[in-house]
Amino acid sequence: MPEKILIIDDDLDTLRLVGLMLQKQGYMISAASNGAQGLAKAFEQRPDLILLDVMMPDMDGYEVTRRLRKNPATVSIPVLLFTAKTQLDDKVMGFEVGADDYLTKPTHPTELQAHVKALLARSIKRDAQGIVTAVHEHHGYVIGVLAARGGLGVTSFASNLAASLLARAQTEVVCAELTPGRGSLAADFGISNQVSLNEILHGTVAEVTREKAQSALIPHNSGLKLLLASENPRDVTLISQVQNYEALVTRLSTFARFVVLDLGVGLPHFVQRILPLCHERIVVTEGITNTIRHTKLLINDITSLKIDRKGITAVLNNRMRLEVTTPLSQAQDSLGHSILSAITPAPELFLQATRKQTPAVICQPGSVTAQQFLQIADALIERDKAR
Q: What is the pLDDT of residues 309-334, one digit of tens each?
A: 999 999 999 877 666 678 888 999 99
Burial of 346-383, coded b for 16+ CB within 10 Å and e otherwise, reads beebbeebbeeebbbbbbbeeeebbebbbebbeebbee
Q: Distances in Å between the alpha carbon of 236 and those of 43, 44, 229, 271, 297?
A: 24, 23, 10, 13, 24
- At 262, the amino acid letter reads D
- Per-residue HEC secondary structure of 75-134 comes to CCCCEEEEECCCCHHHHHHHHHCCCCEEEECCCCHHHHHHHHHHHHHHHHHHHHCCCCCH
Name the 3-class secondary structure at 235: helix
Query: Over its length of 387 residues, how does the chain's per-residue pLDDT go in tens digits?
Result: 678 999 999 988 888 989 999 998 999 999 999 999 999 999 888 899 999 999 898 899 999 999 998 877 788 899 999 876 656 666 778 888 888 888 887 778 888 899 999 888 876 544 444 433 343 345 789 999 999 999 999 999 999 999 999 999 999 999 999 999 999 999 999 998 677 899 999 988 778 888 889 999 999 999 999 999 999 999 999 999 998 998 899 889 889 999 999 999 999 999 999 999 899 999 999 989 999 999 999 999 999 998 999 999 999 998 776 666 788 889 999 999 999 999 999 999 999 999 999 999 999 999 999 999 999 999 999 999 887
pLDDT score at 130: 41
Q: Which domains does the chain have, with CATH numbers?
A: 4-135 (3.40.50.2300), 139-386 (3.40.50.300)
Range 19-41 burial, b when 16+ CB lie within 10 A, else e: beebeeeebebbbbbbbbbbbbb
Q: What is the largest CA-CA distance in the chain?
A: 80
| Alpha-carbon gap, residue 139 to 136, rounded angstroms | 8
With a threshold of 0.95, does the pTM exceed it?
A: no
